[in-house]
């Protein structure tokens, strides 16, 4: 399998659309899941933001410097697209309607994923972002700080506070 840097070189030097498609296939699921968590399970909104993210990645790929991993760079673009969408949108706050029995069930992984997305509504955007990047994407605190442009201590605080908030919501 061709590594990310080779694919990026093909895209930048030869406008290789096949190389771009290969790169997007590799990162499509993690980016979409990240955005679905940030949008608290609003799949249509997350998919729209993902589409915008991939367009921006294509437009800006020549600026990728390799200082961070491509995954970190792509997640940063996704995060900024999400923030822009939040500035434009009118948000209504809904009551959390989560079936907490799914937490104990190991049978329905899809239901658990949906429940996690719903639980994210209990967190503010910063906590949601940091927790998702840490737990779902497996990124280090430093990588999260790079993506969000938050100080390292702030990233750690958002993760800690987010976990504490989720524990309060989940406990009966």
**Tens-binned pLDDT, residue by residue, of the chain (172 aa):** 789 999 999 999 999 999 999 999 999 999 999 999 999 888 999 999 999 999 999 999 999 998 999 999 999 999 999 999 987 764 434 444 444 454 444 454 666 667 777 788 888 889 999 998 998 888 999 999 999 999 999 999 999 999 888 888 776 5
Domain housing 28: 4-88+97-170
The owner of tokens 């933001």 is 49
HSE-CB of 28 using CA atoms within 13 angstroms: 11
Query: What does the pLDDT read at residue 93?
Result: 40
> Over the Cα atoms of the chain, what is R_g?
17
* Paired tokens of 149: 């442009």
Query: What does the pLDDT read at residue 41?
Result: 81
pLDDT, tens only, 2-48: 899 999 999 999 999 999 999 999 999 999 999 999 998 889 999 99
What's the predicted TM-score (pTM) here?
0.69
Query: What does the pLDDT read at residue 74?
Result: 96
CATH number at residue 34: 1.20.140.160
Please give the DSSP secondary-structure letter assigned to residue 91: P
Query: How many separate domains does the chain show?
Result: 1
Is the distance from CB of 146 to CB of 127 less than 8 angstroms? Answer: no
* CA–CA distance, 15 with 139 (Å, rounded to integer): 30
């Amino acid at each position: 399998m061709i590594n990310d840097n080779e694919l990026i070189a093909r895209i930048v030097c030869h406008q290789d659309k096949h190389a771009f498609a290969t790169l997007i296939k590799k990162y499509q699921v993690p980016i979409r899941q990240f955005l679905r968590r940030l949008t608290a399970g609003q799949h249509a909104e997350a998919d729209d933001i993902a589409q915008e993210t991939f367009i921006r990645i294509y437009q800006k790929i020549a600026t990728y410097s390799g200082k961070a991993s491509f995954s970190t760079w792509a997640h940063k673009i996704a995060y900024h697209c999400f923030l822009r969408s939040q500035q434009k949108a009118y948000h209504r706050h809904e009551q959390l309607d989560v079936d907490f029995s799914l937490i104990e069930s190991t049978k329905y992984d899809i239901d658990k994923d949906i429940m996690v997305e719903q639980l994210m509504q209990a967190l503010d955007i910063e906590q949601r972002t940091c927790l998702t990047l840490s737990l779902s994407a497996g990124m280090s605190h430093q990588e999260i700080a790079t993506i969000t442009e938050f100080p390292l201590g702030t990233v750690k605080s958002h993760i800690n506070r987010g976990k504490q908030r989720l524990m309060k919501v989940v406990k009966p």
